[in-house]
């Protein structure tokens, strides 16, 4: 990821910038979430839902803190120097974090086990309901990341004030990850996952009626962040409850491609609609209907209950950080 940011600063054409940033930064971001979820689940069993919520807070904090920092760097040093500084800084941080990492008390499932678990999941309707819902959610979700600040500027809102809308989205995301992570321990994760999907069309309705009303735009961004953040924090635990713990890394890896495809399509489609109509209204209304379709796709999963995986039998491996766990442990390793 750091290399992708640094190389982006060296480009001399828009196409090269899109290609290098998309591959470098995109691959870095896309390859970390599944290992992060798996490692967290391997260390923490009793409070796994909360641990995953805390662990994914960094995404929201990055949106909350680094967006205004990046804007300030670009404004003061220029975009090339800003990208170079962010690339070098992120590479240093990741290197230092890697030095402090160590393996969980139990090994992950072999690759063959993950592949087998993924094949079994692909034969279940619940997997495809979640996949379609995640895709539709992402189609709508990433539109404001690209267009919300520009929309606010066109409504006469100052640039710095408009940029704070993305910060508000990040703050909502942090609150969603922590708050819904705690609630998931008490209420079960599947009902809350469905609620996260339901929050998104409500948020877009707020954007539709907001116009130039800045407090309503802040509310839209915060609501969207809460739903998005809660989904990211709760989805690994929900999938463990539905598909089982063993080999879950392969299941998550396939499932999360839905977000990548949705993120690719949504902003492009919204941009084309905005250019064709000269207005954001049709794109926002479209996002509402797409978000509602995601809700209807996932609603039948309510019958599955809480979605919280039952505690597995303990094994003999122990660590000073947690009780024994069999998160993603193959039968041969027990």
pTM for the model: 0.74
Mean pLDDT of the chain: 80
Q: How confident is the model at residue 19 (pLDDT cuts 50, 70, 90)?
A: confident
**Residue 52 clears pLDDT 70, i.e. is over it:** no
Is residue 238 within 8 A of residue 307, CB to CB? The reply is: yes
What integer is the mean pLDDT of 35-54?
67
Lowest-confidence range among 72-86, 92-106, 218-232?
92-106
Higher pLDDT, 304 or 11: 11
What integer is the mean pLDDT of 56-71?
73
The first and second tokens of residue 133, run together, are 């819902």
Report d(CA 69, CA 201) in Å as an integer.
30
Out of 7-16, 87-96, 272-281, 322-331, the most confident range is 272-281
Domains by residue range for the chain, with CATH: 32-333 (1.20.1250.20)
Alpha helices, H only, the chain: 2-8, 14-30, 33-43, 48-55, 57-61, 67-77, 79-100, 111-122, 125-141, 143-154, 159-187, 189-210, 214-243, 248-255, 257-277, 281-298
**Residue 65 clears pLDDT 70, i.e. is over it:** yes
* Chain CA centroid to CA 228, Å: 7
Query: Exposed (0-12), middle (13-18) or buried (19+): which is 41, by Cβ within 10 Å?
Result: buried
Is residue 308 within 8 A of residue 188, CB to CB? The reply is: yes
**Residue 255 clears pLDDT 70, i.e. is over it:** yes
């Amino acid at each position: 990821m750091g290399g992708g940011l640094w190389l982006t600063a060296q480009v001399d054409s828009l196409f090269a910038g899109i290609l290098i940033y998309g591959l470098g930064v995109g691959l870095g971001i896309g390859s970390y979430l599944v290992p992060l979820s798996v490692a967290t689940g391997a260390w923490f069993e009793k409070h796994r839902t909360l641990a995953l919520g805390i662990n994914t807070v960094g995404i929201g904090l990055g949106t909350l803190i680094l967006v205004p920092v990046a804007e300030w760097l670009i404004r003061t040093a220029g975009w090339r120097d800003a990208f170079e500084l962010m690339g070098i800084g992120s590479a240093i941080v990741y290197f230092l974090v890697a030095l402090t990492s160590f393996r969980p008390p139990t090994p992950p499932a072999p690759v063959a086990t993950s592949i087998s678990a993924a094949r079994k999941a692909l034969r279940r309707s619940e997997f495809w309901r979640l996949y379609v819902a995640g895709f539709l959610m992402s189609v709508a979700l990433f539109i404001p990341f690209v267009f919300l600040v520009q929309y606010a500027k066109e409504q006469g809102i100052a640039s710095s004030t408009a940029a704070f809308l993305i910060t508000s989205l990040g703050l909502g995301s942090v609150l969603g990850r922590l708050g819904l992570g705690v609630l998931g321990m008490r209420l079960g994760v599947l009902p809350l996952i469905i609620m996260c999907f339901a929050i998104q069309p409500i948020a877009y309705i707020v954007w539709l009626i907001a116009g130039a009303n800045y407090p309503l735009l802040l509310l839209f961004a915060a609501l969207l962040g809460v739903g998005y953040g809660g989904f990211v924090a709760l989805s690994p635990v929900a999938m463990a409850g539905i598909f089982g713990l063993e080999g879950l890394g392969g299941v998550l890896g396939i499932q999360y491609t839905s977000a990548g495809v949705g993120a690719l399509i949504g902003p492009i489609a919204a941009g084309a609609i905005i250019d064709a109509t000269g207005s954001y209204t049709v794109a926002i209304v479209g996002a509402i209907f797409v978000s509602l379709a995601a809700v209807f796709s996932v609603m039948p999963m309510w019958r599955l209950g809480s979605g919280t995986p039952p505690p597995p039998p303990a094994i003999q491996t122990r660590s000073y950080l947690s009780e024994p766990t069999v998160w993603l442990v193959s039968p041969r390793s027990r």
